[in-house]
Amino acid sequence: MATQAHTRLAALMAARPVILAPMEDVSDAVFRALCRGLGADLCVTEFVNAEGLLRGCRNARRKLTLAPDDQPTAIQIYGADATRLAEAARVAEAAGPAYIDINCGCWVPKVAGRGAGAGWLREPAKMVDMTKLIVGMVSLPVTVKTRIGWGPESDMPIVDLARRLEDAGVAALTIHCRVAQVGHSGPADWSWARRAREVVSIPIIVNGDVRSAADAERAIAETGCAGVMVGRQAIDHPWVFREARARLDRGVDLPGPSHAERFALCRAHLGANAAARGLPFGVRVTRRHLAGYLRGLPDAAALRRRLLTEDDLGRCLDILDDAEAALAGRARAA
């Protein structure tokens, strides 16, 4: 049954969205806000474990919490038991996301090896039944993020699976264009997204190897899909969202972020994570981003090494201030 949420999702998909992928320990509320501020049209939460959510696990509840300005954001759930996933979807629905996304793409052995994530691809019929059950349990749109198959190529079910998922009531499908068994190795084959798109009427989102604005434009042009999802590139370079939007909307290639913007994003992310997660953990969880944020700055490697060993927020900010002041001094002297 169509709802206002279904109508809003259709409108989002019609605008060729550039979407922040669900990434564990990355796509939290702080990072979603940063990416949305830089042009992400839609965000997906970290993976929410269905069992943990139903047990009231603090971490699962944290991932489920959406602030009023954290929209549009989808909540992604994962698990190996269809009934428990359906129950978790109802809990997630109460948090007010744009839609519910089912993780059928995580290839990590501790997830897929237990039948969750991409493990569902071993038995596509059960995967379809599971999604149909969830669609029937909630009023929000339900989407699926999946791989093109478990592997090898002779056993890729994605085209037939896309048809069956549409019949089950799935509102959109995100396809990471690699098989589960290769993880992130080798190139993503976007042609599988095109083949799936040709046999369904629901929106298909391309995922895998979208690393730049040019990649986003090419992925949509080559596949005819509704939009793209950006994962690992966003960790180092969240400016990819504004760059992709400029390329898709106006055919414009934006310059890369200025040195001042790079320093500013480091400060903003460190400060927001410290406020949200406490110290020193808030500083530590930001470290994975800093190498990318600082890329291209003079003496970036040395600056990064200093920040990666510092747990104190104030000291981190001092290091950044000193580095930016030194850079400005060199520019004035030049």
Vertex 32 angle, CA 30 and 35, to 5°:
110
Which tokens is 45 given?
């939460």
Distances (CA, A) of 82 to 109, 179, 243, 250: 19, 22, 39, 43
Tokens 């702080």 sit at which residue? 30
Tokens 């796509």 sit at which residue? 27
Give the pairing of strands 73-78 and 42-49.
parallel
Instruction: Specify the amino acid at residue 122.
Output: R
CA–CA gap between residue 19 and residue 12 (Å, rounded): 10
Which tokens is 255 given?
């310059």
Hey, which residues are catalytic here? 106
What is the sign, positive or negative, of the torsion defined by CA atoms of 6, 11, 15, 20? negative
- DSSP annotation string for 50-71: HHHHHHT-HHHHHHH---TTS-
Distance of CA 327 to the CA centre of its chain: 34
73, 63 in Cβ contact below 8 A?
no
CA–CA gap between residue 95 and residue 98 (Å, rounded): 10
77, 50 in Cβ contact below 8 A?
yes
155, 102 in Cβ contact below 8 A?
no
CA–CA gap between residue 103 and residue 63 (Å, rounded): 15
